[in-house]
């Protein structure tokens, strides 16, 4: 019986939950001109904003921070398309919580130095 309880506690401590929070067509935290007309679809990127949990969370995850990190993976990017926001909860007493943003980069080729960006 002790082995079963230990096994159940181990499974509980190692378990986690990842939940799809939102699906967005376009998302951006940057100011840019929508009338530019030189937008191209870039590569798919992923970024997270997560914090450790030691009995209590040591921070509050933010969608804006995760989106900024994803967009800033390319200096010519101004937003994301086909965005998926995922809530991460991999903690019981210890672990991490967070938000993951995944999407295709929206590249603005009208920005200086971005004429040939892909």
- Residues 6+ away with beta carbon under 8 Å from 65: 49
Beta pairing class for 39-54 and 94-108: antiparallel
In this prediction the pTM is 0.80
Q: Which pLDDT value is given to residue 12?
A: 62
Least confident span in 14-18, 43-47, 77-81, 94-98:
14-18
Report whether pLDDT(93) > 90.
no
> What's the rounded mean pLDDT across residues 43-69?
94
Report whether pLDDT(45) > 70.
yes
Report whether pLDDT(109) > 80.
yes
């Amino acid at each position: 019986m002790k082995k079963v309880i230990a096994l159940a506690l181990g499974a509980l401590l190692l378990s986690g939950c990842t939940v799809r929070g939102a699906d967005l067509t376009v998302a951006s935290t940057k100011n840019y001109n929508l009338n530019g007309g030189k937008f191209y679809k870039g590569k798919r990127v992923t970024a997270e904003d997560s914090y450790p949990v030691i009995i209590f969370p040591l921070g509050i995850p933010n969608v804006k921070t995760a989106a900024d990190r994803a967009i800033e993976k390319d200096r010519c990017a101004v937003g994301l398309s086909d965005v998926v926001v995922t809530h991460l909860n991999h903690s019981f007493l210890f672990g991490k919580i967070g938000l993951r943003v995944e999407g295709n980069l929206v590249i603005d080729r009208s920005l200086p130095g971005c004429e040939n960006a892909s």
